[in-house]
Chain A
Amino acid sequence: MTTSELTLPQARKKKGRGPTERRRVMGAGKQLHAGPVTYIVLTVFALLSLAPLVWTAIAASRTDRRLAETPPPLWFGGNLFKNLESAWDQAGLGTAMLNSTVVAGTITISTVLFSTLAGFAFAKLRFRFSSVLLLLTIGTMMIPPQLAVVPLYLWMSDLGWSNQLQTVILPTLVTAFGTFFMRQYLVQALPTELIEAARVDGASSLRVVWHVVFPAARPAMAVLGLLTFVFAWNDFLWPIIALTQQNPTVQVALNSLGTGYVPDQAVIMAGALLGTLPLLIAFILFGKQIVGGIMQGAIKG
């Protein structure tokens, strides 16, 4: 999957250096070139966004004792790899990374697949109760996860599933957000004539999905996949309750680190750095698509 395949087809503007034709639907700001003040303020915001992460790396390259001294270190020391190794071994981050990859990967694949099917049905198919069911789907986003954790915990104990990954995977196999996201995309990206043409040929629903819907939904599927992976990797409440340090996801391992499991601040920072690294790499590679996805999802009806 190349990045060019990932870009959304209705990208808002061409990246022409020259004077491109201006669309009539753009904020006035679009026509105005940013002045120096804008760049200065944006730079301050950018530094505020990045500084804590850069400083995490600096702190991870120091020692616990050095971090308790004043003034705090402002540049890298020579202890990075030693601390990364300690975090990997002591905090079980090796296992945690593997577990988080399995959990987030499974959730992403299944969410993208089922959200596309459900989104397609809501966008293009006529069936009884469809509008009520769509409203219900949107309404479920209001329900806080806290409302489910007590019974889920008790069922898990009954099944003897504590500390097993399926406990964390099953409840989020498909999300309301994903379903709604795909519906919004397919409403305008999938021409109804295409489906009708396939129908006239006598194609079954599955054939229509495979040959018409999936190809049309592909860019949005990629974006939803990225957003879902970020969400699943960072999920906190239920994993903290369902899993322990014996078989943690990255977030559970970081939680144990922070609650005195390893009292060494430099090792804790190394852990925080390791736990965020996969997503940072994803951002460097697909940042544009993730930004596009969030901006796409923002425009409601």
Chain B
Amino acid sequence: MTSSKQALAHPASSAEAAPGTPPGAARGAHGRGTPPGPDSWRSRLYRWDMKASPYAFIAPFFIIFGAFSLVPLLYTAWYSLHDVQLSSLDQQTWAGLDNYQNLLTSDFFWNALKNTFTIGVISTVPQLMAAIGLAHLLNYRLRGSTVWRVVMLTPYATSVAAATLVFTLLYSWDGGMVNWFLHFVGIGPVNWRESDWGSQFAVSSIVIWRWTGYNALIYLAAMQAIPVDLYESASIDGANRWQQFLHVTVPQLRPTILFTVVVSSIGATQLFGEPLLFGGVSGSKGGSEHQYQTLGLYMYDQGWIIGNLGKASAIAWSMFLILLIVAVINLLFTRRLRKSL
């Protein structure tokens, strides 16, 4: 952290080297042909330009990141230790660990944690397995391969809001397409809005629909980088196609699988838009029994519906801690895998 601060001390002073305002003097250094001679003011300027310009180029990112992510992150920690109410923003009193204690004794928090985990698992696992299978099929020599890929990616272009509105209608009790289809094959209607597993499955299906194609393309890119010789030697050893897939493709994809698992876990921890809109009018509660209230939803509900921003900050930090734990578990898991190989 301190190193970044030191590095950032430079670009601040070299702000005039930022794009758009070339220092007039530097113009003179553009003489064609010869580099500036030693010890002229020109060469000094040139050397200074060489030193400072990298910092000037990365400055915009670090300034934006600092102002809108890093500083707010620390402020959120500060607010999580205070009593901050939406109704009286200027009265912020010290509360110590009260907000966190509140969370740990709240059934709703544990419920949200459980739901986030359940929905996370039932949306991520089938999604990634389907994506690997789909990538394997897309890796064959196909007619119109680009068209197939673009079609598989269209759900990714559909926003959370639009996709959820459509799926909510598909899952509705009266005249919903899904229940009609179930009736058609002789299964009774499911109450997708109210039942526990039904609503969690419905929310997960929106996530699966939007991200399967995207992950398939990531796996496809990795599959295309697998050396052909591996397959050749496998087939000489008498492995059929399915065995080749199992013993060559999947092991070779391991780093990519890990990458997608990490990214999907991060996404699952933050799940917010799908359950919010699936719930309709009182969406932030995540159903009448909070049956699909995720941590992201719980935070929004506490902060902006109930108006307790201190508690919302504590929930945000808890989410961050959970993410770090997930990351560490992933890391340990990979180490174990590497050792066992």
Chain A interface residues (CB < 8 Å from chain B):
12, 22, 24-34, 38-39, 41-42, 45-46, 48-50, 52-53, 55-56, 59, 67-72, 113-115, 117-118, 120-122, 125-130, 132-133, 136-137, 140, 142-154, 157, 170-171, 173-174, 176, 179, 199-207, 209, 230, 233-234, 236-237, 241, 250-251, 254-255, 257-260, 265, 268-269, 271-273, 275-276, 279-280, 282-283, 287-288, 290-291, 294-296, 298-300
Inter-subunit contact A50/B154 (CB<8 Å): yes
Select which of A52, A128, A207 is within 8 A of B7 by beta carbon. A128
Inter-subunit contact A42/B137 (CB<8 Å): yes
Residue in B closest to A116 when the chains form the complex, CB atoms: B57
Inter-subunit contact B259/A27 (CB<8 Å): no
B256 contacts the other chain (Cβ, under 8 Å)? yes
B325 contacts the other chain (Cβ, under 8 Å)? no
Among residues 27 to 64 in chain B, which have CB atoms less than 8 Å away from a CB atom of chain A? Answer: 29-36, 46, 49-51, 53-58, 60-62, 64
Query: What secondary structure prevails in chain B residues at the interface with A?
Result: helix
State the CA gap A58–B161 with chains docked (Å): 18
Select which of B7, B19, B64, B266 is within 8 A of A144 by beta carbon. B266
Enumerate chain A residues within 8 angstroms of B223, measured Cβ to Cβ.
27, 29
Inter-subunit contact B175/A68 (CB<8 Å): yes
A sample of 21 cross-chain residue pairs with beta-carbon separation below 8 angstroms, ordered by A number, consists of A26-B226, A29-B136, A29-B223, A34-B142, A41-B137, A46-B151, A48-B209, A113-B19, A117-B19, A118-B58, A127-B54, A147-B72, A149-B303, A201-B32, A205-B50, A206-B22, A280-B154, A291-B153, A295-B218, A299-B222, A299-B225
Query: What 0/1 pattern do residues 158 to 197 of B give for CB contact below 8 A with A?
Result: 1111111111111000111100100100000000000000
Residue in B closest to A113 when the chains form the complex, CB atoms: B19
B13 contacts the other chain (Cβ, under 8 Å)? no
A269 touching B19 in the complex, CB below 8 Å, given contacts A121-B54, A254-B159: no
A230 touching B175 in the complex, CB below 8 Å, given contacts A204-B29, A254-B162, A288-B150: no
Inter-subunit contact B159/A250 (CB<8 Å): yes
B340 contacts the other chain (Cβ, under 8 Å)? no
Task: Tell me the minimal C-beta distance from A106 to chain B in angstroms.
Answer: 13
A52 touching B170 in the complex, CB below 8 Å, given contacts A32-B141, A254-B162, A291-B153: yes
State the CA gap A283–B87 with chains docked (Å): 44
A259 touching B280 in the complex, CB below 8 Å, given contacts A27-B224, A144-B266, A202-B30: yes
